[in-house]
A and B are shown apart, each in its own frame.
Chain A
Amino acid sequence: MTLLVTLIPLLPLFGFIILGLGYRSIPKSIASILGPGTILISFILSLIILFNFHYFAISPFHHLFTWLSSGRFSVAFDFLVDPLSILMMLIITGVGFIIHVYSIGYMSQDEGFNRFFAYMNLFIFFMLILVMAANYAVMFIGWEGVGLCSYLLIGFWFKNQRFNNAAKKALIMNRIGDLGFLLGMFLIFTTFQSFNFVTVFDQAKAMTPGSGTMIAITLLLFVGAVGKSAQIPLHTWLPDAMAGPTPVSALIHAATMVTAGVYMVARSSVLYVLAPETMEVIGLTALATMLLAATIAIFQNDIKKVLAYSTISQLGYMFLALSVGAFTGAMFHLMTHAFFKALLFLGAGSVIHAMEGEQDIRRMGGLKNALPKTYWTFLVGTLAIAGLPPLSGFFSKDEILAGVFSFGLPVWIVAVAVSMMTAFYMFRLLYLTFFGSFRGSEHQKTHLHESPAVMTIPLILLAFLAFIGGSLNIPELMGGSGVLKEFLAPVFADAVKINQLPHHNIPAGLEWTNIGVVILLVLLMAWSAYRRFVTREPETETRNFFMRLAENKFYVDELYDAVFVKPALRLSEGLHKVVETKFIDRIVNGTGTGIIKFSNTIRYLQAGHVGVYMFFMIIGILLILFFNIIL
């Protein structure tokens, strides 16, 4: 079994190596088999593992080799393939495969075709390492590796320095988080003498909740999650990351990499439930991020930017779920979000393709007829993310809202508000793009076309998943059995046992009422957006101060630029021109010239005057005595 498990990440790595070495000579036809093909086999293997795990209860531990070792300290390259990992592996390879297929069409005209698939395969490799790792050190390999691939793919069209800036920003912001993650790991090691999940969690269970060490560990790890999953204050890289090709946005910046932070916290659930203070920090961060991102999303006009802010906001949802201890809910939403957000991005890609690169929704409109398949699938995605039954987003959001409700009413209200905003900006996007009349140029109008089958079939597949994905975890309230909950139960068993958070049972009637109210509010938003953006001419809306603030993303980028970037550059200049040249080097040079001058002077001392010699001898003796006493 270990061989099969190892093959799952190795196949994409193999694809990367072949495509990377032969990026010039391999024809596109072979690359388009090799790129998605390796992922498909990995997906099938993951299914086989799932099957074996479920029916034959194979061991989740797989030892590969010892990576780092020094005395008692040793880090093994091990995999832990438990239900949580298997779920992630299926999402990564499944959605990854669909997006790879789509890319064959989307990237067909690009001269960097092979390079693109090489990077994408490398990404899948690192992402699989991240979720399959059996310890924090190996997880960190994947953690940093996906950051690298994200960098390479955001800056894929590297002729454009604006894209390169976005790529660089993403990697640097990720690295800020990574430092936190690294320090968290070190603290784990000094506390538990191990990086292994199993060893660490076993020992942690015995600790008292709320200890300072545990809070420090979980907070530091969370800093890593904030960077990777684009939460406040490290959220600004994700919207810029839309510079990459659209399949990249779908795979990396929506479905998989950005959810790594959620996965990591869920994986470390035992540690987090032992640190209630950290859970509060996560909850507050999540709430702030959800609100901010959703507000900004309402006022964006770039189709991909809207989706990017929506992703940030939905990630906030997942973190909110984690913070109230609804780990399964977070993972459930992670999965359904992977389906519908990948779908929405790929749909957006199809639109951009048809519009010849245009991304501004103010210049679209009425695409419903020209792009029927894209429209219908996009509609499914919109309904799913808005949380309307019976689509997947409804069930996953409902689970989170139910968890939040038992936690506290104010938090629930914010979560519902964000849910309404989500519905509003998504319907706005849908209406402005597909409804009304076409607002683009004549040239664009004549070139409007539905995407080829290689792109629309992935859309349909994802739409199918976004539609039925919720059935995996229908709550008992609605007569479901909660398959996912049962599947993941062993992973979160310890955390649930320790969890000290208040938990009340909500009566079924109240829960039904809540669900009804949320659905009504969402429908209200859809209707309000319709009134605003279809019936009325969208260009005419005037924007007040707050709207402009949101449109400009609350000037966070400008703030960072003024507070961090510019001062750092000035400091750099100052250090070099003043400290380095005028101070340190001057002392060095001064010592040099000083010695020459000094030696010129002391020539006179050696003129043979015994008195002078005596004088210096005494001073010397005194100095030696002096130093011997004080030191």
Chain B
Amino acid sequence: MLTLILILLPLLTAIGIFFIRERRWVRNLALAAALIEFGISIAALIQYFLYCHCLLLFRLEWLAEYGISLKFGMDGLSMLMTLLTTFLVPIVIYVSFGQKVVRPSSFYSLIILMQAGLIGVFTSFDGMVFYIFWELTLIPAYFIAGYWGGENRIRITLKFFAYTFSGSLLMLVAIIYLYFRTPLPHSFDHIWLYASNLNPGEQIWVFLAFFIAFAIKVPVFPFHTWQPDTYVTAPYSGSMLLGGLMSKMGLFGMIRWMIPITYSVLNRTDGLFIIFPVIGIVYASLIVIRQDDLKRFIAYTSIAHLGLVAAGAMALNAQAMQGAMIQMVSHGINIVGLFIIIQYIELRTKTTSIRELGGIALKAPRLAIFFMIILLGSIALPLTNGFVGEFLILLGLFKYNVVFAAVSGLTIIFSAVYMLWMYQRVMLGNTNAVTESFTDLSWKEMMPLIAIVILVIWIGVFPGMFMKLAENGVGQIIGVVR
């Protein structure tokens, strides 16, 4: 039941907010709804651990003759991703208060709608319903970036839309094809889809369709070229939603759908498809060194970091996949933290160009500390959240293939190189004309960063609960694969 409420509450709030015109009301209502949603997800978490360690299942026949049912549930994977979503969305909304937003009712309505779509994606256990929510998230993402975005937003968001949408269509074809290969009477239920009977040739096509759809969403090299432009042009709230949450849809889709259904392709091709994300790690890490725009910089780091996650997900062993789940959470938290900091910097200096900044730490020691801790999280220092995930992924990859692990491990060096370079240019050194009158963070501004930093350290030092969730979810997937 809680699962259903988690989807319905934002859906209804989004509709409600859309019709409210009072600016202040809209904002606060959106934030209140997001916070209540977070509370409900905590309740779901407690229920999960107290009662069953299992699916909090909700099931309603919908289009019975086609075997489509509204089947939502919470296993460890859904729980982790739902918690990430309900944790980040209030932060995204809260941080947007610092910026002037035109047409707030539409804006906040879309953000909340996005949340509904995301939770739907993460909790649906029916292939068709999964697809519907998958597409549902694209609509708010498109409008947020396209309407509230910056320069060239029309062209860039169109590319983003067309690219991800064509990927999604491939996935739709794959799901329908699978449906016809399920035992009679056909069904879109995940258990049936997992059990669909494909010959090796068909498996490759289905795999490719899923792989491309999910790879575009993450994005995985070489399907990533829509992403840097989109992150740059989207408003901060949009970039946070895209980088923090939407990118996880692709990875989640790989683990929930692609791998249990077509793992044999991964086995047969012997790591051929892991090469893409592994190349992406090195490729994006190299490109990022010379990026000047902070948002573009973060976009490329994201390709590198999520490349590692994708590689881990496809290594088909428990450690790597569990690490991938943890790393999805950590990356979501860290990238939102980084975007918040960049937003604060742009708000004060009117620029995101690394070259123009410098010496901010002198003026804003608080900002410098938060920035440093989140940065350490993203370069995977032990006792921060980034380490737990990367460590498990690399260990799992090492078991799978030593070369992949060694090449992916370069991220340890690269991330230190580019992140410290950026930090040095932006925060250290002496102030200049742009940063001279930089003011430090107020308590109000620090609130979301405090929440993020607490999680960075919590997951790093006591990852037990998160690992338990990931273990339960991954266990089932690995069970199917074996």
Chain A contacts to B: CB under 8 angstroms: 20, 23-24, 65-71, 73, 137, 140-141, 144-145, 148, 151, 155, 158-161, 164-165, 168, 171-172, 175-176, 178-179, 182-183, 186-187, 189-190, 568-569, 571-573, 575-576, 579-580, 584-585, 588-589, 592, 627-628, 631
A145, A158, A159, A579 — most chain B CB neighbours (10 Å): A158
Chain B residues, Cβ within 8 Å of A161: 424, 428-429
B467 lies within 8 A of A183 (CB): no
B447 adjacent to chain A (CB < 8 Å): no
A73, A189, A571, A627 — most chain B CB neighbours (10 Å): A73
Additional pairs, 8, CB under 8 Å, beyond known A68-B467, A151-B420, A182-B409: A69-B464, A148-B381, A172-B417, A176-B413, A186-B405, A576-B287, A588-B225, A588-B226
B163 lies within 8 A of A183 (CB): no
Chain B contacts to A: CB under 8 angstroms: 159, 162-163, 200-201, 204, 222, 225-226, 283, 286-291, 318-319, 322, 359, 361-362, 365, 369, 376, 381-383, 388, 391-392, 394-395, 398-399, 405-406, 409-410, 412-413, 416-417, 420-421, 424, 427-430, 461-464, 467, 470-471, 475
A576 lies within 8 A of B290 (CB): yes
Chain A residues, Cβ within 8 Å of B291: 576
Show 5 A/B contacts (Cβ-Cβ < 8 Å), sorted by A.
A69-B467, A141-B382, A158-B427, A160-B429, A190-B398
Interface SS of chain B: helix
B420 lies within 8 A of A569 (CB): no
Give A23 to B410 CA distance when docked, in angstroms: 35
Chain B residues, Cβ within 8 Å of A171: 416, 420
A175 lies within 8 A of B416 (CB): yes
Chain B residues, Cβ within 8 Å of A68: 388, 391-392, 463, 467
Closest to A152 in B: B372
A168 lies within 8 A of B424 (CB): yes
A158 lies within 8 A of B428 (CB): yes
Q: A70-B392, A70-B471, A631-B200 given as contacts; is B383 within 8 A of A141 (CB)?
A: yes
Give A176 to B391 CA distance when docked, in angstroms: 16
Chain A residues, Cβ within 8 Å of B290: 569, 572-573, 576
Q: A161-B429, A175-B413 given as contacts; is B322 within 8 A of A70 (CB)?
A: yes
**A593–chain B nearest beta-carbon distance, Å:** 11
Interface SS of chain A: helix
Chain B residues, Cβ within 8 Å of A627: 201
B289 lies within 8 A of A172 (CB): no
Give A573 to B361 CA distance when docked, in angstroms: 29
Give A357 to B126 CA distance when docked, in angstroms: 71
Which of A73, A141, A178, A568 has a CB less than 8 Å from the CB of B412? A178
Q: A140-B382, A148-B381, A171-B416 given as contacts; is B361 within 8 A of A575 (CB)?
A: no
Give A458 to B392 CA distance when docked, in angstroms: 45
A575 lies within 8 A of B287 (CB): yes
Q: A71-B471, A182-B412 given as contacts; is B286 within 8 A of A571 (CB)?
A: yes
B225 lies within 8 A of A575 (CB): no
**A578–chain B nearest beta-carbon distance, Å:** 11
B420 lies within 8 A of A183 (CB): no
A144 lies within 8 A of B382 (CB): yes
**A460–chain B nearest beta-carbon distance, Å:** 36
Chain B residues, Cβ within 8 Å of A155: 428
Chain A residues, Cβ within 8 Å of B381: 144-145, 148
Chain A residues, Cβ within 8 Å of B394: 182, 186
Which of B318, B398, B421 has a CB less than 8 Å from the CB of A71? B318
Chain B residues, Cβ within 8 Å of A178: 412
**A123–chain B nearest beta-carbon distance, Å:** 14
Give A172 to B413 CA distance when docked, in angstroms: 6
Closest to A69 in B: B467
Give A576 to B289 CA distance when docked, in angstroms: 10
Which of A159, A186, A569, A585 has a CB less than 8 Å from the CB of B395? A186
Give A155 to B429 CA distance when docked, in angstroms: 10
Closest to A144 in B: B382
Q: A159-B430, A186-B405 given as contacts; is B222 within 8 A of A584 (CB)?
A: yes
**B327–chain A nearest beta-carbon distance, Å:** 13
Closest to A165 in B: B424
Give A217 to B480 CA distance when docked, in angstroms: 34
Q: A23-B365, A576-B287, A592-B159 given as contacts; is B464 within 8 A of A70 (CB)?
A: no
Chain A residues, Cβ within 8 Å of B286: 568, 571-572, 575
Give A174 to B461 CA distance when docked, in angstroms: 22
Give A159 to B359 CA distance when docked, in angstroms: 7
Give A164 to B426 CA distance when docked, in angstroms: 12
